[in-house]
Structure 1
Amino acid sequence: MTTTRPLRIALIGTGFMGKMHTHAWRTAPRFFDLPAEPQPVLLVGRRADATAEAAARWGWPEHGTDWREAVARDDIDVVDICTPGDTHAEIALAALTAGKHVLCEKPLANDVREAEQMSHAALDAPGVSMCGFSYRRTPALALARDLVRSGRIGEVRHVRAQYLQDWLSDPNAPHTWRLDRERSGSGTLGDIGAHSIDAAQWLTGQTITAVSAVLRTFVQSRPRRAAVDGLGGVADADAAHLPVTVDDAAAFTAHFSGGALGVFEATRMATGRRNANRIEINGDRGSIAFDFERMNELEVYDVENGDTQGFRRVQVTESQHPYAGAWWPAGHGLGYEHLFVHQAADFVRAVAGLEDAWPSFADAAQVQRVLAAIEDSAAHDSILTAVAAAGADERTSS
């Protein structure tokens, strides 16, 4: 049973991820037996009025606009970072130095230097640290990892991953911080491509060692958000536009440390694709295939099936499947928000020393090195660009 000892949380960020993490902290102890009770204490945002409104709506008893307050307070155990990437390093490093436990949204940082600095700091810090690659907590993907790592599909030969969205397909869609390189670090590549990179390395147990990449920006500028009317159209054709300084789409091939070949695509301009996060892994004894738009299903192929060969659709909702047993009766599917509840539950258990925190900051720094190699390859029209090696003292949990 959940104990009465609280794990007191300060959440930094009042956007989409802030709302999702709030829901997760409140829901996790209601479905999982945890060694400590997550207790939301302080919500921190940039604007006082918006932060106060979010705190009231989401049920945070205190709110403020200075994240340094959260780091300095003795009654805060966990600092949960849900801000744009350009702020991750400063907040996380300060929190780790102060002895806090840290949960940081992905990507870990905006460049390799910051990511490695955070990874090294995490090794020496007394607190637990975790990066929020939430798709790892999808029951079907967790089952896929068990199958691949146990040898069920044999030697991995191919990794084929796509992450397709369409929310920027309309050239009149408004500008956001995600289209500003100074704040986001990169565009589609770091926003959703990073998930595919992390999933591929986590599922296979192999790291990406070299890439050959192409990046494209199809729409060079977009209207300021204030110039978009309530119906989604542009209110004034002559309204000011802001430049798009990141990629709209990325495509790359990858070499894996175990010999596998990878083919990756990420775009936020695939018209009609809302959140098609797909991955297929082919081995010499079988294959697995997953699409988040059917997140409760895993396709499994086994060459041992003889004259009944073919992909089988597995409904990953049974009590023995990863995470699923904590929720509904078999066949009653889960949704996107459940991944964050699973993440919160795992984080609490890691703080209690019952399991490792994963993905670690070192895992996330490895993803950052791959992102940097992709950008370097695309910038120099390179046939092949090596991924920088991890430091000798850097440990991953993959």
Structure 2
Amino acid sequence: MKQLGVALIGHSFMGAVHSQAWRTVGHVYDLPARPMRTVLVGRRAQGAAHAAERLGWQDSTDDWKSVLRRQDVDIIDICTPGDSHAEIAVAALEAGKHVLCEKPLATTVAEAESMADAARRARAHGPHAMAGFTYRRVPALALARQLIAEGRLGEIRHVRAAYLQDWLSDPSAPFSWRLQRERAGAGALGDIGSHIIDLSQYLLDDTIDGVSAQTATFVGRRPLSDKPERTGQVTVDDAAAFTARFTGGALATYEATRYATGRKNALRIEVNGTCGSMSFDFESMNELAFYDTAQDTGGTAGFRRIQATEPGHPYLEGWWPPGHGLGYEHAFTHQARDLVTAIADGTDPAPGFEEGLRVQRVIAAVEASAADSSRYTPVDRPGSV
């Protein structure tokens, strides 16, 4: 079996999750190629070496450019802050490597455009690029997309989506790179809002046409983690709320915040159509609520719960017997499976960088609307992409 060497760049929270996925995927699925945890890259050599040993990587380095020259590396997996995504991804694609890049794709539309252009050029001679919008690969949500594509909901009228966390609700929580515009690009809007923007467009197979938005920054300065007597200025949003129109006519509402006390990772989405509705809450990630108007008879109308754990449901053929639920990490394993399969088949993985750019343009439109008194702002759609 052909081997695919993986270089992981970044080894904090997201790097650890990706490591688990690369460790697991070959044991769960019968893959057309075998991914190998070849080398881990960190900012400091000692830290990278320690992380490589702990996470099961064969080698480590503090020089990401060096891994692009290695013949035993086929895939570059980018888990760094957003300000480095474009430089690493473009260089990797030009070096002939496949690329998996965490969301959001970049910090600006211009950077995302350069990445999408590089992916388009690279595709002509083999390398593929994938954007890491992992919630697409939660089985219940993949099943929801199937139901919508089959017309089970009819004509889509409404989408309402929210991603709620609370890890910044304490004003004394320390300053981090996620609160710096130059490193993160946007705050809650880019960090978690990007997920629900992508997820809604994925479920409907449609694009957001325009938005009307508000954003807020609740705590302007936070203590530095290494020097708590000093503070750093927060230059991104803490929360964003906006309405939107889809090209197909559906009306949508979105909320992203890191100040929803009591909510740790509450990604929620509901879609209403002329023939039915579906609703999902990540805090019950193995369940999909489904309502069919054709069954609205006899005084027993209401949503029914689908346990998305059957072998015939998306991604479940490799896992446990029905009723034995999956968790957060498993969607990343599914992502690794899909990327390896696409590379082996020579097909474009989804979502590609073009779809990541589409999300970046919505983020830019939301920020522009919020800066202009919530004025309705069309999403930019250059004809080249």
Q: Are 1:347 and 2:339 counterparts?
A: yes
| Equivalent residues in 2 for 1:281-300, closer than 5 Å | 281-300=271-290
How much does 1:227 deviate? 4.4
Alpha-carbon distance in structure 2 between the residues aligned to 1:221 and 1:74:
46
Q: Hey, what does 2:251 align to over in structure 1?
A: 261
Alpha-carbon distance in structure 2 between the residues aligned to 1:110 and 1:356:
24
How much does 1:49 deviate? 1.8
Q: Are 1:329 and 2:326 counterparts?
A: no
Alpha-carbon distance in structure 1 between the residues aligned to 2:205 and 2:375:
25
Q: Kindly, what percent of the aligned residue pairs are identical?
A: 58
Alpha-carbon distance in structure 2 between the residues aligned to 1:338 and 1:382:
38
Q: Are 1:371 and 2:371 counterparts?
A: no
- Paired AA for residue 20 in structure 1: V
8 A contact 1:95–1:101 mirrored in 2: yes
Runs of 4+ in structure 1 over 4 Å off: none
- Paired AA for residue 225 in structure 1: S
- Aligned with residue 15 of structure 1, among 8, 12, 15: 12
Q: Are 1:44 and 2:36 counterparts?
A: no
Deviations 1:343-365 (A, max 9, x none): 00000001011653000100110
Secondary structure of the structure 2 residue equivalent to 1:160: strand
Alpha-carbon distance in structure 1 between the residues aligned to 2:102 and 2:362:
17
Q: Hey, what does 1:233 align to over in structure 2?
A: none
Alpha-carbon distance in structure 1 between the residues aligned to 2:35 and 2:23:
7
Q: Hey, what does 2:232 align to over in structure 1?
A: 242
Secondary structure of the structure 1 residue equivalent to 2:242: strand
Alpha-carbon distance in structure 2 between the residues aligned to 1:312 and 1:227:
52
Secondary structure of the structure 2 residue equivalent to 1:141: helix
- Paired AA for residue 160 in structure 2: R
Alpha-carbon distance in structure 2 between the residues aligned to 1:90 and 1:227:
30
Deviations 1:357-383 (A, max 9, x none): 000100110000000000000111142
Alpha-carbon distance in structure 1 between the residues aligned to 2:340 and 2:77:
12
8 A contact 2:210–2:378 mirrored in 1: yes
Worse overlay, 260-269 or 353-362: 353-362
Alpha-carbon distance in structure 2 between the residues aligned to 1:247 and 1:134:
23
How much does 1:206 deviate? 1.1
Worse overlay, 345-354 or 293-302: 345-354
Q: TM-score normalised to the size of structure 2? A: 0.97
How much does 1:267 deviate? 0.2
Alpha-carbon distance in structure 1 between the residues aligned to 2:6 and 2:253:
39
Alpha-carbon distance in structure 1 between the residues aligned to 2:164 and 2:341:
33
Secondary structure of the structure 1 residue equivalent to 2:366: helix
Q: Which runs of 5+ in 1 are unaligned?
A: 229-238
Q: 1:333 to 1:164 in 2, by over 3 A?
A: same
Secondary structure of the structure 2 residue equivalent to 1:336: coil
Alpha-carbon distance in structure 2 between the residues aligned to 1:241 and 1:86:
22
8 A contact 1:317–1:325 mirrored in 2: no
- Aligned with residue 73 of structure 1, among 50, 58, 70: 70
- Aligned with residue 270 of structure 1, among 253, 260, 277: 260
How much does 1:93 deviate? 0.3
| Equivalent residues in 2 for 1:1-398, closer than 5 Å | 3=1, 5-125=2-122, 126-227=126-227, 239-305=229-295, 306-307=297-298, 308-353=300-345, 355-392=347-384, 394=385
8 A contact 2:214–2:374 mirrored in 1: no
Secondary structure of the structure 2 residue equivalent to 1:102: strand
Secondary structure of the structure 1 residue equivalent to 2:43: coil
- Paired AA for residue 118 in structure 1: M
How much does 1:390 deviate? 3.8
Q: 1:355 to 1:296 in 2, by over 3 A?
A: farther
Alpha-carbon distance in structure 1 between the residues aligned to 2:70 and 2:44:
21
Worse overlay, 260-269 or 59-68: 59-68
Alpha-carbon distance in structure 2 between the residues aligned to 1:98 and 1:383:
43
Alpha-carbon distance in structure 2 between the residues aligned to 1:70 and 1:107:
23
How much does 1:48 deviate? 1.7
8 A contact 1:366–1:390 mirrored in 2: no
Secondary structure of the structure 1 residue equivalent to 2:145: helix
8 A contact 1:79–1:95 mirrored in 2: yes
Worse overlay, 65-74 or 157-166: 65-74
Alpha-carbon distance in structure 2 between the residues aligned to 1:78 and 1:313:
39
Secondary structure of the structure 2 residue equivalent to 1:252: strand
8 A contact 1:165–1:267 mirrored in 2: yes
- Paired AA for residue 286 in structure 2: N
Q: TM-score normalised to the size of structure 1? A: 0.94
8 A contact 2:42–2:48 mirrored in 1: yes
Alpha-carbon distance in structure 2 between the residues aligned to 1:329 and 1:60:
31
